[in-house]
Amino acid sequence: MEGYPEGYEEEIDLVEEIDLLTNNDDYAGVDEDLDEDDQMQLLILQQQYAQEIPEVVKNFIIYFHRNILENNVYELHGIYENSFNRLTEKFYAKTPWPEADYIAPLVNDDQVFLTLYRELYYRHIYSKLTPTIEHRFHSYENYCDLFNFILNSEGPVSLELPNQWLWDIIDEFIYQFQSFCNYRSRLKNKTEEEIALLRDNIQVWSCYSVLNVLYSLITKSRITEQLLVSKHGGDMIEAAGEYGSRTLYKMLGYFSIIGLLRVHCLLGDYTLALKMMDNIELSKKALFARVTACHVTTYYYVGFAYMMMRRYADAIKAFSHILVFIARTKMYHTRSYQFDQINKKGDQMYALLTICIALCPTRLDENIHPHLREKYGEHLIKMQRGEEGLQTFEDLFLYACPKFISPNGPNFEDPNALTQTIEPHHHHAKIFLSEVRHQILIPTLRSYLKLYTTMGIDKLSAFLDIDAETLRTQLLIVKQKSRQQKWTSGTLLEGEYVTTSDLDFCLKQDMIHIAESKVGRRYGDWFLRHINKFQDIIAGMDLRN
Amino acid sequence: MSNNKSLLTPSPLNPTFRPDVIQSLIDGVDRYNPDNVSILEEYLSTQLQNEEYDLMANLAILKLYQFNPHLVNDVVISNILVKALTAIPNPDFNLCLYLLQEGSLSDDNVSKLILLQQLLEEARYQEFWEVYEKDDTYKDLSMEAVGFDTAIRKVILTAICMAYQTISVDLLRTYLNYPKGDTKFETFIQSQGLTTKDDVIIINTNYDNEAKPTVIRENIKFEQLTKVIGYSNEL
């Protein structure tokens, strides 16, 4: 916290009682078109309110503003990740931050700063309070202002922000879009006024406007060109151009690609979602790994898209990778303000991983297997018990799937729409579960096949208490489902069909011939890890000497 | 038949017959422009006539429908789904369904096609043909897709070739829906490279029907050892 006004910590404790003063909702929802009287009123309110803003918050805002002007990314990092959240806990746990108009005098009415401030202001309302329809509209307008400033100023803007914040801007923009779509889909308990507002403003938070922002950021930053150069070589400066060579544009462009991955998943377009990633390689060195939240988001949506495309082996790989990462870095992000969110996503991914494992039995990394067994072991057993397991599949799916959106909202002309709620997740769950239903009997059949090397159709159908033709059908399903498209090289969408099961068989007329492939013990991995551990111990002892 | 590749192939991401116009359209932001829907719909008609199939382009149509409900053309949706049936066991059919509006799964034609999909995915081939032939709607739905019956027969035959090394002629004939004595059956299986001996059809071994027990051994790559080799320097 170098450079922060001294005594800041103590000051917070001293002004604790001011907390009460800010519990005051009078300033919420200032109208836009004000006549002169109202203007005067506002000015008086502004002055009154300015006095109510705790001194420490005022200082913080002034300090924040100065660092924005100076593009001091290092300080901004601390302000953004620590100070803002600490002050929130102290003063604004249950109320919004002061409205931008009230703090305007503190920052010389700096419009750019106020737009950035509002970004935080609305984000705080979304995360800690319940946004009203006005908040939703104004936040959208504020994002429009922010992106207009970035995209349509004369030449590139000189603003610099920490990567974390840039990611959060894109992430929050999409979150609020998704939140708005769900809000709009439920007309049931809305007032006439709210419904009228929604009907008259269909361009607000529309799919096209959101996609437009993300694609514009990608084009402006020339991020695709930059990624191609970093992959195949070439002149980076030329590829990046005037805008793309600035971190702000480059990172916003990059995060917009991940943003599109997410938006397309929310819309159920899984191929297009993965196609967005054409120029991004999934590796630890990729840019997305610089911001943990982005890293986690990327793998969650890549894994989810693979799962919905029946590519369970690829999904398992994606989920395992990021869950191992989360498990290994746990101690680092416990302090992060996003700890809870990352944990929640992690837990959802364990649920998705369980679904995938049930559909495509696979050995898991030993860093995550115990946790999965502890958390979802019982689910997994249920899921392999045929028909009765379907409910468990559905429960886990609905718990762990993204919050799907219905892009168009209700038809306001249709009187029935007022009482109906559009629930896109049921649409997706239904299709996914029909897929699961096809293969729900496979585990039972597999467990029998494992016991034999040859077996007559008649005999096995007698064991299973089904007729011979049904058994043939089941065997064909087992065969089809044991082949999956799996990535080997190239873009994420590419892949070839390979065997993903350790159990295989063939039929010679009425006789089943069964073959099981066994995995030899993996010594290498074990030894390597222990050699590393041992080396660390030795290094530790050396240090002490 | 090569033994190291599965008989299954994913729907190509960039089929060779795809015209440049379509390629640039679906690669860029033009894919969101509602004015382009007719170009893509015409391309679908070409696919239907020429027995070609381009999943990515068809998904682009459904995407435009998703954003612009006033453009939706039910016949086009049915045609896309009919084509997707011929790509089973690829996930194409479901990928299309995910893009449809909530509630449209219960539309008459869509739910009829979903029934066909279920029967094919669950390898209930005999039932598939019964359902398909009993209801005239299906003939109408698949009318525009030239060679639909043959394409479905190929889907079924692939599934059989993956599982069987030998299969009785009668059983395969039932799966493929040829009446007894129909010479087209002989012609079809010969065109697919299968031979008949007595009453049994012989399918050469391939990647999928081989079923050979194997032991997967771990494969340690040099890169994994670099750190360990590095330690030896410190000694």
Q: Does B115 touch chain A (CB under 8 A)?
A: no
% of chain B exceeding 70 in pLDDT: 98
The span from the CA of A85 to the CA of A91, in Å, is 10
The span from the CA of A397 to the CA of A12, in Å, is 44
The span from the CA of A343 to the CA of B185, in Å, is 59
Q: Decide: helix, strand or coil at residue A505.
A: strand
**CB-CB neighbors (< 8 A) of A519 in chain B:** 215-216
As to burial, measured by CB atoms within 10 angstroms (0-12 exposed, 13-18 middle, 19+ buried), residue A365 is middle
* Lowest mean pLDDT across A79-83, A147-151, A517-521: A517-521
Is B215 within 8 Å of A508 when comparing Cβ atoms?
Answer: no
Is B95 within 8 Å of A271 when comparing Cβ atoms?
Answer: yes
Q: Which residues contact A502 (CB under 8 A, 6 or more apart)?
A: A361, A516, A517, A518, A519
Phi, then psi, of B8 in degrees rounded to 5 = -85, 140
Neighbour tally for A362: CB within 10 Å:
16
Q: Which residues contact B143 (CB under 8 A, 6 or more apart)?
A: none
% of chain A exceeding 70 in pLDDT: 88
Q: Does B8 touch chain A (CB under 8 A)?
A: yes
Q: Which residues contact B76 (CB under 8 A, 6 or more apart)?
A: B41, B44, B61
3-state secondary structure A407-472: CCCCCCCCHHHHCCECCHHHHHHHHHHHHHHHCCCHHHHHHHHCCCCEEEHHHHHHHHCCCHHHHH
Q: Where are the alpha helices (DSSP H) in A202-338?
A: 207-221, 223-232, 236-244, 247-266, 270-275, 292-308, 312-328, 330-333
pLDDT value of position B1: 44
pLDDT in tens, B17-56: 999 999 999 998 899 999 999 999 999 999 999 999 999 9
Chain A nearest-CA distance from B64, in A, is 11
Amino acid at B178: Y
Is A517 within 8 Å of B67 when comparing Cβ atoms?
Answer: no
Q: Decide: helix, strand or coil at residue A518.
A: strand
* Lowest mean pLDDT across A327-331, A425-429, B129-133: A327-331
Residue of A nearest to B6 (CA): A497
Q: Which residues contact A5 (CB under 8 A, 6 or more apart)?
A: A59, A63
Would you say A419 and A188 are in contact if contact means Cβ atoms under 8 Å apart? yes
Neighbour tally for A258: CB within 10 Å:
26
**CB-CB neighbors (< 8 A) of A472 in chain B:** 123
Report whether pLDDT(A32) > 70.
no
Q: Decide: helix, strand or coil at residue B215.
A: strand
- ipTM (interface predicted TM): 0.91
As to burial, measured by CB atoms within 10 angstroms (0-12 exposed, 13-18 middle, 19+ buried), residue B67 is middle
Is A508 within 8 Å of B165 when comparing Cβ atoms?
Answer: yes
Q: Does A537 touch chain B (CB under 8 A)?
A: no
**CB-CB neighbors (< 8 A) of A428 in chain B:** 98
pLDDT in tens, A307-366: 999 999 999 999 999 999 888 887 776 566 678 888 899 999 999 999 999 999 888 888
Report whether pLDDT(A28) > 50.
no
**CB-CB neighbors (< 8 A) of B97 in chain A:** 431
Q: Does A165 touch chain B (CB under 8 A)?
A: no
The span from the CA of A427 to the CA of A442, in Å, is 25
Q: Which residue has the tokens 């394409």?
A: B151
Q: Which residues contact B2 (CB under 8 A, 6 or more apart)?
A: B206, B207
Pairing of strands B215-216, A518-519: parallel
Q: What is the mean pLDDT of residues B173-198?
A: 89
- What is the pLDDT confidence band of residue A430, given thresholds at 50, 70 and 90? very high
Q: What is the mean pLDDT of residues A495-505?
A: 88
Q: Does A524 touch chain B (CB under 8 A)?
A: yes
- Give me A37's structure tokens: 């009287």
Is A506 within 8 Å of B59 when comparing Cβ atoms?
Answer: no
Determine the distance from the C-alpha atom of residue A58 to the mean position of all C-alpha atoms in its chain, rounded to a whole number.
Answer: 33
